[in-house]
Protein backbone atom coordinates (compact mmCIF):
# COMPACT_ATOMS: atom_id res chain seq x y z
CA UNK A 1 0.00 0.00 0.00
CA UNK A 2 1.29 3.42 -0.94
CA UNK A 3 0.03 4.84 2.34
CA UNK A 4 2.12 2.33 4.29
CA UNK A 5 5.11 3.04 2.04
CA UNK A 6 4.98 6.67 3.17
CA UNK A 7 5.55 5.42 6.72
CA UNK A 8 7.95 2.59 6.08
CA UNK A 9 10.10 3.08 3.00
CA UNK A 10 13.31 5.05 2.76
CA UNK A 11 13.10 5.93 -0.91
CA UNK A 12 10.17 6.40 -3.27
CA UNK A 13 11.04 6.66 -6.95
CA UNK A 14 8.35 8.39 -8.95
CA UNK A 15 8.39 7.66 -12.67
CA UNK A 16 6.11 7.91 -15.66
CA UNK A 17 5.73 9.48 -19.08
CA UNK A 18 6.37 13.13 -19.89
CA UNK A 19 4.09 15.74 -18.40
CA UNK A 20 1.81 13.34 -16.50
CA UNK A 21 2.60 15.00 -13.17
CA UNK A 22 5.67 13.19 -11.82
CA UNK A 23 7.05 16.33 -10.22
CA UNK A 24 3.66 17.28 -8.76
CA UNK A 25 3.04 13.74 -7.47
CA UNK A 26 6.56 13.56 -5.97
CA UNK A 27 5.98 16.82 -4.13
CA UNK A 28 2.50 15.70 -3.03
CA UNK A 29 3.79 12.39 -1.67
CA UNK A 30 6.55 14.24 0.15
CA UNK A 31 3.99 16.58 1.73
CA UNK A 32 1.84 13.59 2.75
CA UNK A 33 4.90 11.85 4.21
CA UNK A 34 5.96 14.97 6.11
CA UNK A 35 2.77 14.57 8.17
CA UNK A 36 4.08 11.28 9.53
CA UNK A 37 7.87 11.30 9.10
CA UNK A 38 10.30 13.76 10.65
CA UNK A 39 12.88 14.24 7.89
CA UNK A 40 11.59 14.09 4.34
CA UNK A 41 13.53 15.11 1.25
CA UNK A 42 12.16 15.43 -2.25
CA UNK A 43 14.76 15.43 -5.00
CA UNK A 44 14.41 16.33 -8.63
CA UNK A 45 16.73 16.14 -11.62
CA UNK A 46 14.18 18.21 -13.47
CA UNK A 47 16.05 21.01 -15.19
CA UNK A 48 12.79 22.96 -15.38
CA UNK A 49 13.04 23.43 -11.61
CA UNK A 50 9.31 22.84 -11.38
CA UNK A 51 9.63 21.24 -8.03
CA UNK A 52 11.07 24.33 -6.44
CA UNK A 53 8.43 26.43 -8.10
CA UNK A 54 5.78 24.07 -6.79
CA UNK A 55 7.08 24.81 -3.31
CA UNK A 56 7.23 28.54 -3.92
CA UNK A 57 11.01 28.85 -4.25
CA UNK A 58 12.42 31.15 -6.88
CA UNK A 59 15.63 30.69 -8.84
CA UNK A 60 17.54 33.09 -6.61
CA UNK A 61 17.10 30.65 -3.77
CA UNK A 62 18.71 27.85 -5.71
CA UNK A 63 21.94 26.96 -4.08
CA UNK A 64 24.98 26.02 -6.08
CA UNK A 65 25.54 22.29 -6.05
CA UNK A 66 22.04 21.16 -5.26
CA UNK A 67 22.27 21.24 -1.48
CA UNK A 68 18.83 20.54 0.03
CA UNK A 69 16.73 23.55 1.03
CA UNK A 70 14.44 23.22 4.04
CA UNK A 71 10.93 24.64 3.55
CA UNK A 72 10.21 27.61 5.77
CA UNK A 73 7.52 27.58 8.45
CA UNK A 74 5.37 29.84 6.29
CA UNK A 75 5.47 27.47 3.30
CA UNK A 76 4.83 24.47 5.56
CA UNK A 77 1.74 26.18 6.95
CA UNK A 78 0.46 26.93 3.47
CA UNK A 79 0.88 23.25 2.67
CA UNK A 80 -1.22 22.34 5.68
CA UNK A 81 1.78 21.01 7.61
CA UNK A 82 2.76 21.94 11.15
CA UNK A 83 5.59 24.48 11.35
CA UNK A 84 7.74 21.86 13.05
CA UNK A 85 7.56 19.51 10.03
CA UNK A 86 10.85 18.62 8.35
CA UNK A 87 10.53 18.85 4.58
CA UNK A 88 13.41 19.73 2.27
CA UNK A 89 13.81 20.02 -1.48
CA UNK A 90 16.90 19.50 -3.62
CA UNK A 91 17.71 19.82 -7.28
CA UNK A 92 20.26 17.27 -8.27
CA UNK A 93 23.17 18.55 -10.27
CA UNK A 94 24.81 15.58 -12.07
CA UNK A 95 28.06 17.49 -12.50
CA UNK A 96 28.28 18.08 -8.78
CA UNK A 97 27.73 14.39 -8.01
CA UNK A 98 30.36 13.41 -10.55
CA UNK A 99 32.80 15.84 -8.97
CA UNK A 100 32.22 14.14 -5.64
CA UNK A 101 32.89 10.70 -7.14
CA UNK A 102 36.12 12.11 -8.60
CA UNK A 103 37.11 13.52 -5.22
CA UNK A 104 36.52 10.13 -3.58
CA UNK A 105 38.20 8.01 -6.24
CA UNK A 106 41.22 10.02 -7.35
CA UNK A 107 44.00 11.95 -5.63
CA UNK A 108 43.40 15.74 -5.51
CA UNK A 109 46.09 16.22 -8.18
CA UNK A 110 44.57 13.65 -10.55
CA UNK A 111 41.11 15.03 -9.84
CA UNK A 112 41.94 18.59 -10.79
CA UNK A 113 43.74 17.42 -13.95
CA UNK A 114 40.70 15.43 -14.97
CA UNK A 115 38.33 18.30 -14.24
CA UNK A 116 40.40 20.59 -16.43
CA UNK A 117 39.80 18.50 -19.54
CA UNK A 118 37.10 19.52 -21.99
CA UNK A 119 35.91 15.91 -22.23
CA UNK A 120 35.16 15.83 -18.52
CA UNK A 121 33.48 19.21 -18.54
CA UNK A 122 31.23 18.14 -21.40
CA UNK A 123 30.60 14.68 -20.02
CA UNK A 124 27.23 15.53 -18.50
CA UNK A 125 25.87 16.26 -21.96
CA UNK A 126 27.86 13.64 -23.81
CA UNK A 127 27.19 10.54 -21.80
CA UNK A 128 23.67 9.27 -22.14
CA UNK A 129 22.42 7.99 -18.81
CA UNK A 130 24.93 9.89 -16.70
CA UNK A 131 22.20 12.02 -15.19
CA UNK A 132 20.36 8.92 -14.05
CA UNK A 133 23.52 7.23 -12.85
CA UNK A 134 24.41 10.21 -10.70
CA UNK A 135 20.89 10.18 -9.25
CA UNK A 136 21.39 6.63 -7.99
CA UNK A 137 24.78 7.56 -6.60
CA UNK A 138 23.36 10.53 -4.80
CA UNK A 139 20.32 8.77 -3.35
CA UNK A 140 22.45 5.84 -2.20
CA UNK A 141 24.78 8.23 -0.44
CA UNK A 142 21.87 10.09 1.17
CA UNK A 143 20.43 6.80 2.42
CA UNK A 144 23.79 5.74 3.83
CA UNK A 145 24.34 9.10 5.50
CA UNK A 146 20.93 8.71 7.13
CA UNK A 147 20.15 12.42 7.13
CA UNK A 148 16.60 11.76 5.93
CA UNK A 149 13.93 9.25 6.88
CA UNK A 150 12.42 9.28 3.41
CA UNK A 151 13.70 10.47 0.03
CA UNK A 152 11.20 10.98 -2.78
CA UNK A 153 12.98 10.96 -6.13
CA UNK A 154 11.33 12.71 -9.04
CA UNK A 155 12.71 11.30 -12.31
CA UNK A 156 13.73 13.39 -15.32
CA UNK A 157 11.39 14.34 -18.11
CA UNK A 158 13.77 14.35 -21.04
CA UNK A 159 14.21 10.61 -21.29
CA UNK A 160 11.59 7.99 -21.63
CA UNK A 161 10.91 6.56 -18.20
CA UNK A 162 12.41 3.21 -19.21
CA UNK A 163 15.73 4.91 -19.85
CA UNK A 164 15.97 5.67 -16.19
CA UNK A 165 16.03 2.00 -15.25
CA UNK A 166 18.39 1.07 -18.07
CA UNK A 167 20.92 3.74 -17.14
CA UNK A 168 23.26 1.66 -14.91
CA UNK A 169 23.54 -1.08 -17.53
CA UNK A 170 24.11 1.52 -20.25
CA UNK A 171 26.88 3.30 -18.39
CA UNK A 172 28.49 -0.01 -17.55
CA UNK A 173 28.39 -1.07 -21.21
CA UNK A 174 29.98 2.20 -22.19
CA UNK A 175 32.75 1.85 -19.64
CA UNK A 176 33.45 -1.68 -20.81
CA UNK A 177 33.10 -0.81 -24.48
CA UNK A 178 35.77 -0.84 -27.17
CA UNK A 179 36.03 2.95 -27.07
CA UNK A 180 37.32 2.83 -23.55
CA UNK A 181 39.42 -0.26 -24.12
CA UNK A 182 41.20 1.37 -27.02
CA UNK A 183 42.11 4.32 -24.86
CA UNK A 184 42.52 2.62 -21.48
CA UNK A 185 43.59 -1.00 -21.95
CA UNK A 186 43.10 -3.07 -18.82
CA UNK A 187 46.25 -4.32 -17.08
CA UNK A 188 46.10 -7.79 -18.63
CA UNK A 189 45.34 -6.65 -22.18
CA UNK A 190 48.01 -7.07 -24.85
CA UNK A 191 46.63 -4.16 -26.89
CA UNK A 192 48.59 -0.93 -26.26
CA UNK A 193 46.61 2.27 -25.73
CA UNK A 194 45.93 4.10 -28.94
CA UNK A 195 47.32 7.17 -27.27
CA UNK A 196 50.82 5.69 -27.25
CA UNK A 197 51.04 6.01 -31.03
CA UNK A 198 52.65 9.19 -32.33
CA UNK A 199 50.37 9.47 -35.37
CA UNK A 200 47.33 9.84 -33.12
CA UNK A 201 48.77 13.09 -31.82
CA UNK A 202 49.17 14.37 -35.38
CA UNK A 203 45.67 13.27 -36.23
CA UNK A 204 43.99 14.89 -33.25
CA UNK A 205 46.16 17.97 -32.93
CA UNK A 206 48.41 18.68 -29.98
CA UNK A 207 45.87 20.19 -27.61
CA UNK A 208 43.09 17.63 -28.09
CA UNK A 209 45.64 14.83 -27.94
CA UNK A 210 47.06 16.13 -24.65
CA UNK A 211 43.60 16.54 -23.16
CA UNK A 212 42.40 13.12 -24.31
CA UNK A 213 45.50 11.48 -22.89
CA UNK A 214 45.01 13.26 -19.60
CA UNK A 215 41.33 12.36 -19.51
CA UNK A 216 41.72 8.68 -20.27
CA UNK A 217 44.74 8.26 -18.02
CA UNK A 218 43.06 9.81 -15.01
CA UNK A 219 39.67 8.32 -15.76
CA UNK A 220 40.95 4.76 -15.33
CA UNK A 221 40.55 4.79 -11.56
CA UNK A 222 37.07 6.18 -11.88
CA UNK A 223 35.96 3.72 -14.51
CA UNK A 224 36.54 0.69 -12.30
CA UNK A 225 34.56 2.25 -9.51
CA UNK A 226 31.69 3.18 -11.83
CA UNK A 227 31.55 -0.36 -13.28
CA UNK A 228 31.42 -1.85 -9.78
CA UNK A 229 28.73 0.63 -8.67
CA UNK A 230 26.60 -0.02 -11.76
CA UNK A 231 26.50 -3.71 -10.86
CA UNK A 232 25.20 -2.86 -7.41
CA UNK A 233 22.74 -0.27 -8.68
CA UNK A 234 20.95 -2.90 -10.73
CA UNK A 235 19.80 -4.31 -7.38
CA UNK A 236 18.80 -0.88 -6.10
CA UNK A 237 15.08 -1.24 -6.87
CA UNK A 238 14.79 -4.69 -5.38
CA UNK A 239 15.75 -3.40 -1.94
CA UNK A 240 12.91 -3.61 0.54
CA UNK A 241 13.39 0.00 1.54
CA UNK A 242 12.94 1.32 -2.00
CA UNK A 243 9.54 1.59 -3.69
CA UNK A 244 8.73 2.49 -7.28
CA UNK A 245 5.60 4.53 -7.92
CA UNK A 246 4.34 4.85 -11.48
CA UNK A 247 2.32 7.88 -12.55
CA UNK A 248 -0.12 8.22 -15.44
CA UNK A 249 -3.20 10.16 -16.45
CA UNK A 250 -6.47 8.78 -17.83
CA UNK A 251 -5.98 10.14 -21.39
CA UNK A 252 -5.38 7.52 -24.04
CA UNK A 253 -1.74 8.23 -24.99
CA UNK A 254 -0.46 8.49 -21.39
CA UNK A 255 -2.39 5.29 -20.57
CA UNK A 256 -0.60 3.43 -23.36
CA UNK A 257 2.72 4.79 -22.13
CA UNK A 258 1.82 3.83 -18.56
CA UNK A 259 0.97 0.26 -19.52
CA UNK A 260 4.20 0.02 -21.51
CA UNK A 261 6.13 1.10 -18.43
CA UNK A 262 4.30 -1.32 -16.12
CA UNK A 263 5.05 -4.17 -18.58
CA UNK A 264 8.69 -3.13 -18.77
CA UNK A 265 9.05 -3.06 -14.97
CA UNK A 266 7.38 -6.48 -14.69
CA UNK A 267 9.85 -7.83 -17.23
CA UNK A 268 12.75 -6.37 -15.24
CA UNK A 269 11.23 -7.77 -12.04
CA UNK A 270 11.18 -4.32 -10.50
CA UNK A 271 8.30 -4.26 -8.02
CA UNK A 272 5.81 -1.41 -8.43
CA UNK A 273 4.35 -0.21 -5.14
CA UNK A 274 1.35 1.59 -6.66
CA UNK A 275 0.09 3.30 -9.78
CA UNK A 276 -1.02 6.89 -9.31
CA UNK A 277 -3.62 8.14 -11.76
CA UNK A 278 -3.14 11.89 -11.75
CA UNK A 279 -5.29 14.75 -13.02
CA UNK A 280 -8.45 12.66 -12.73
CA UNK A 281 -11.45 14.77 -13.66
CA UNK A 282 -14.27 14.71 -11.11
CA UNK A 283 -17.98 15.32 -11.72
CA UNK A 284 -19.07 18.92 -11.18
CA UNK A 285 -20.52 19.77 -7.81
CA UNK A 286 -22.58 22.57 -9.28
CA UNK A 287 -26.33 22.70 -8.66
CA UNK A 288 -28.59 25.71 -9.33
CA UNK A 289 -29.50 25.73 -5.62
CA UNK A 290 -25.93 26.73 -4.74
CA UNK A 291 -26.47 30.07 -6.46
CA UNK A 292 -29.82 30.78 -4.82
CA UNK A 293 -32.43 32.99 -6.43
CA UNK A 294 -31.96 36.02 -8.63
CA UNK A 295 -29.71 34.41 -11.24
CA UNK A 296 -30.47 35.05 -14.91
CA UNK A 297 -31.78 32.27 -17.16
CA UNK A 298 -28.90 32.86 -19.52
CA UNK A 299 -26.21 32.42 -16.85
CA UNK A 300 -27.95 29.35 -15.47
CA UNK A 301 -28.03 27.78 -18.95
CA UNK A 302 -24.31 28.52 -19.42
CA UNK A 303 -23.38 27.01 -16.04
CA UNK A 304 -25.52 23.94 -16.68
CA UNK A 305 -23.75 23.47 -19.99
CA UNK A 306 -20.36 23.68 -18.25
CA UNK A 307 -21.54 21.14 -15.71
CA UNK A 308 -22.53 18.71 -18.49
CA UNK A 309 -19.15 19.20 -20.11
CA UNK A 310 -17.30 18.54 -16.84
CA UNK A 311 -19.44 15.48 -16.05
CA UNK A 312 -18.69 14.03 -19.49
CA UNK A 313 -14.95 14.47 -18.86
CA UNK A 314 -15.34 12.75 -15.48
CA UNK A 315 -17.23 9.85 -17.11
CA UNK A 316 -14.52 9.39 -19.71
CA UNK A 317 -11.81 9.40 -17.03
CA UNK A 318 -13.77 6.88 -14.95
CA UNK A 319 -14.21 4.51 -17.90
CA UNK A 320 -10.57 4.82 -18.90
CA UNK A 321 -9.41 4.00 -15.37
CA UNK A 322 -11.81 1.05 -15.09
CA UNK A 323 -10.50 -0.36 -18.37
CA UNK A 324 -6.85 -0.05 -17.45
CA UNK A 325 -7.46 -1.41 -13.93
CA UNK A 326 -9.19 -4.50 -15.33
CA UNK A 327 -6.14 -5.20 -17.48
CA UNK A 328 -3.85 -5.10 -14.42
CA UNK A 329 -5.67 -6.86 -11.59
CA UNK A 330 -4.05 -7.01 -8.18
CA UNK A 331 -2.34 -3.63 -8.42
CA UNK A 332 -2.95 -0.73 -6.11
CA UNK A 333 -4.39 2.31 -7.93
CA UNK A 334 -4.43 5.71 -6.29
CA UNK A 335 -6.34 8.60 -7.84
CA UNK A 336 -5.24 12.22 -7.56
CA UNK A 337 -7.91 14.66 -8.76
CA UNK A 338 -7.45 17.37 -11.34
CA UNK A 339 -7.23 20.44 -9.12
CA UNK A 340 -8.43 23.68 -10.68
CA UNK A 341 -6.51 26.29 -8.78
CA UNK A 342 -3.98 28.98 -9.60
CA UNK A 343 -2.37 28.26 -6.26
CA UNK A 344 0.28 25.52 -6.76
CA UNK A 345 0.17 24.81 -3.02
CA UNK A 346 -3.49 23.84 -3.33
CA UNK A 347 -2.69 20.99 -5.76
CA UNK A 348 -0.05 19.57 -3.41
CA UNK A 349 -2.30 19.99 -0.40
CA UNK A 350 -5.29 18.28 -2.00
CA UNK A 351 -3.21 15.42 -3.40
CA UNK A 352 -1.50 14.93 -0.04
CA UNK A 353 -4.90 14.90 1.69
CA UNK A 354 -5.80 12.00 -0.59
CA UNK A 355 -3.08 9.94 1.09
CA UNK A 356 -4.05 10.61 4.71
N1 LIG B 1 -3.43 16.90 -10.04
C2 LIG B 1 -3.19 17.99 -10.76
N3 LIG B 1 -4.15 18.97 -10.86
C4 LIG B 1 -3.93 20.06 -11.60
N5 LIG B 1 -2.81 20.31 -12.28
C6 LIG B 1 -1.81 19.39 -12.22
C7 LIG B 1 -1.96 18.19 -11.45
N8 LIG B 1 -0.82 17.47 -11.58
C9 LIG B 1 0.00 18.19 -12.37
N10 LIG B 1 -0.59 19.33 -12.76
C11 LIG B 1 -0.01 20.36 -13.64
O12 LIG B 1 0.39 19.75 -14.86
C13 LIG B 1 1.63 20.30 -15.31
C14 LIG B 1 2.65 19.17 -15.46
O15 LIG B 1 2.91 18.63 -14.17
P16 LIG B 1 4.36 18.15 -13.73
O17 LIG B 1 5.37 19.18 -14.02
O18 LIG B 1 4.25 17.66 -12.34
O19 LIG B 1 4.55 16.93 -14.73
P20 LIG B 1 5.86 16.07 -14.99
O21 LIG B 1 5.42 14.68 -15.29
O22 LIG B 1 6.82 16.25 -13.89
O23 LIG B 1 6.39 16.77 -16.31
P24 LIG B 1 7.81 16.56 -16.99
O25 LIG B 1 7.72 15.25 -17.72
O26 LIG B 1 7.93 17.74 -17.88
O27 LIG B 1 8.82 16.52 -15.87
C28 LIG B 1 2.03 21.35 -14.29
O29 LIG B 1 1.61 22.60 -14.76
C30 LIG B 1 1.25 20.97 -13.05
O31 LIG B 1 0.94 22.09 -12.24
MG1 LIG C 1 8.87 16.85 -13.91
What rounded mean pLDDT belongs to the chain?
82
Mean pLDDT of 313-338: 95
Q: In residues, how long is the chain?
A: 356
Ligand 1 pocket, mutate which of 14, 50, 152 (most atoms under 8 A from CB): 50
SS3 content of the chain, % helix, strand, coil (to 5): 60, 10, 30
Residue nearest atom 23 of ligand 1, based on CA coordinates: 19
pLDDT of residue 66: 65
Mean pLDDT of 52-81: 78
pLDDT at 282 over 50: yes
Q: Give yes or no for residue 336 CB within 6 A of ligand 1.
A: yes
Q: Please give the backbone phi and psi of residue 284, each rounded to the nearest 5 degrees, phi first.
A: -65, 145
Mean pLDDT of 170-190: 65
Ligand 1 pocket, mutate which of 23, 30, 89, 354 (most atoms under 8 A from CB): 23
- Distance from the alpha carbon of residue 309 to the mean position of ligand 2, in angstroms: 29
Residue nearest atom 25 of ligand 1, based on CA coordinates: 18
Q: Give yes or no for residue 257 CB within 6 A of ligand 1.
A: no
Q: Give yes or no for residue 17 CB within 6 A of ligand 1.
A: no
- Rounded to the nearest 10 degrees, how much is the dihedral formed by the CA atoms of 223, 224, 229, 230? 60
Q: Which domains does the chain have, with CATH numbers?
A: 2-104+129-166+238-283+309-354 (3.40.50.300)
Residue 137 vs residue 322, higher pLDDT: 322
Cα–Cα separations (whole angstroms), residue 271 to 92, 180, 215, 261 = 25, 34, 39, 12
Residue 246: which pLDDT band, with cuts at 50, 70 and 90? very high
Q: Please give the backbone phi and psi of residue 282, each rounded to the nearest 5 degrees, phi first.
A: -110, 155
pLDDT at 158 over 50: no
Residue nearest atom 18 of ligand 1, based on CA coordinates: 21
- Distance from the alpha carbon of residue 338 to the mean position of ligand 2, in angstroms: 17
Q: Which listed ligand is nearest to 44 at the C-alpha?
A: 2
pLDDT at 137 over 70: yes
Residue nearest atom 10 of ligand 1, based on CA coordinates: 21
Q: CA 309, CA 291: separation in Å to the nearest integer? A: 19
Span of 39-43, 57-61, 281-285, 345-349 with lowest mean pLDDT: 57-61
Amino acid sequence: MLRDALYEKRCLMVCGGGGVGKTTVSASLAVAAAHVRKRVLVVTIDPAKRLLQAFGFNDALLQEGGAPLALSGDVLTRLGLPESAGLSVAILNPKWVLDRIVAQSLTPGQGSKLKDTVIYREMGQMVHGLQEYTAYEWVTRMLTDDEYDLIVLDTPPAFHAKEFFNAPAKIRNLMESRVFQIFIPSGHSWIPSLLTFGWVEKLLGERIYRESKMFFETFTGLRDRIIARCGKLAEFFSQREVAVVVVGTPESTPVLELEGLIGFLEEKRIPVEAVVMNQVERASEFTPEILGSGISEELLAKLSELKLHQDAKADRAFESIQRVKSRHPGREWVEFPMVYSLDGFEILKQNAAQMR
